[in-house]
Amino acid sequence: MPPLPSRVLLCVIRRRMSSSSSSSSSSSSTIVLPADSFFTSRPEDPVRLRTGPDFPENLPTQTVQGALLAAADSHPDAVAMAAKRKRIGGWKTWAYDRYLDEVRTAAAGLRSLGLGRFGGVGILAHNSPEWFVSALGAAFAGGLAVGIYGTSAPAAVAHICGHAPVEVLAVAGEAELERATGGRSVPEALPSVKKVVLMEPGARVPRRLAGEAVAWDDLMAVGRTESGSWEEVRRLESEQAANQACSLVYTSGTTGVPKGGLRTMEKPCGAPE
Strand partners, 190: none
pLDDT tens sequence across 184-209: 999 999 999 999 999 988 889 999 89
Domains and CATH numbers, the chain: 6-270 (3.40.50.980)
215 φ, ψ (degrees, to nearest 5)? -80, 155
The Cα–Cα gap between 39 and 181 comes to 33
The Cα–Cα gap between 156 and 158 comes to 5
pLDDT tens sequence across 251-271: 988 888 899 999 988 766 554
The Cα–Cα gap between 143 and 246 comes to 6
pLDDT tens sequence across 39-65: 999 999 999 988 888 877 777 788 889
The Cα–Cα gap between 104 and 115 comes to 14
User: Hey, which bits of the chain come out as E strands?
Assistant: 79-85, 90-95, 120-124, 144-147, 166-171, 195-198, 213-215, 245-250, 260-264
Peptide bond between residue 165 and the one before it cis (omega within 30 degrees of 0):
yes
The pTM of the full predicted model, rounded to 2 decimals, is: 0.85
The Cα–Cα gap between 74 and 96 comes to 9
